Amino acid sequence: MLSQVITLLESRRPDHAELAAEVLALLLADTGGSTRVGITGVPGVGKSTFIDQFGINLCETGLSVAVLAVDPSSQRSGGSILGDKTRMSRLAFHPDAYIRPSPAGVTLGGVTRTTRETILVCEAAGFDVVLVETVGVGQSETIVAEMVDFFLVLMLAGAGDELQGIKKGVLEIADMIAVNKADGDNVTKAAAAASDYRHALSLTQPMSPSWSPPVVTCSGATNVGLDDIWTQVVVHRDKLTATGELDARRQDQQVRWMWSMVDDRLVTALRSHPAVQDIVGDVEASVRSGVLAASAAAEQLLAASDSPTG
């Protein structure tokens, strides 16, 4: 039933959107009880292995875990592999865990268009922890931080310039940086990379006066350091709850979500407007051929959307 509700949320059919809104309205009173953790990192950092073990650890302590794993969508075909249940093979079969792979589509930020709503549905279903695995690191990854309580950035060591793989914008919104794959011969390199990241973080302004983002090393493959990471998540939650910052952050997130949904609905309405559909083919052809500037084309489409639908 949970999967069916999430599929309903992801649908772009107008009748599904109306029904999804009704469902969310009914569930809203039962949301807000989970710890929301966003997990991101550079390609190859081992996010799936980390989450598989991290989730197992949480389940073994008696917590229930929902993983919202976002697969990148092909820019050519629009399709996604959605293979996260294969990559998190142990967690996928745990009775206290739920994994939902979803296509990112054209949404920026490494999340799907409906990730925020899916978090709420998982909370209403009773999950204690919601983990959001994102596509990868980028400036638009800040969108992830705007829907979770704790934003964890996984990094690699020994991949050349340690600071090259992480952007300043991500440093500023990270609640913790963990250098993964700190095992075997890589332990020393991971420690050195962690030192570099600590220095980089010291040059940024923390998001919260109550929290200085720690930098740690860990290994998802050997289950080293993962319990300490969860301990820090809990300490962060308790500190921000005590100061009222967690409630304020979630309230601000709701307002930003509202405007995000307004943007999404406006674009959908614009594209489906009959007058826009009548001219969009010619306008796109003019832009491709260089006859019409993109800015002028945008004005034409917006002007067409202002015309009565008849």
pLDDT at 252 over 60: yes
Q: Determine the average pLDDT of the residues in 110-133.
A: 86
pLDDT attached to residue 182: 95
Higher-scoring residue by pLDDT: 207, 282: 282
Residue 19 pLDDT greater than 60, yes or no: yes
pLDDT for position 159: 54
- Structure token digits, residue 6: 């999430």
**DSSP secondary structure letter of residue 288:** H
CA distances, 242 to each of 24, 59, 80, 231 (Å): 28, 26, 41, 17
Cα torsion 58, 59, 65, 69: sign: positive
Position 78 scores a pLDDT of 40
At residue 46, does pLDDT exceed 80? Answer: yes
Q: What is the pLDDT of residue 308?
A: 76
Map out the domains of the chain with their CATH numbers.
32-243 (3.40.50.300)
User: Which residues, other chains included, contact 270 with Cβ-Cβ below 8 Å and sequence gap of 6+?
Assistant: 276, 301, 302, 305
The sign one gets for the Cα dihedral 168, 169, 173, 174 is negative
Residue keyed to tokens 């943007």: 263
Cα–Cα distance, 120 to 200 (Å, whole number): 34
DSSP codes joined into one string, 239-274: HHHHHTHHHHHHHHHHHHHHHHHHHHHHHHHHHH-H
pLDDT digits (tens, 9 = 90+) for 137-162: 554 467 778 889 999 999 888 654 44
pLDDT band at 73 (very low <50, low <70, confident <90, very high): very low
Query: pLDDT averaged over the chain?
Result: 85
Higher-confidence position of 61 and 168: 61
Most confident of 7-21, 38-52, 274-288: 274-288
- Per residue in 276-291, pLDDT (tens digit) is 999 999 999 999 999 9
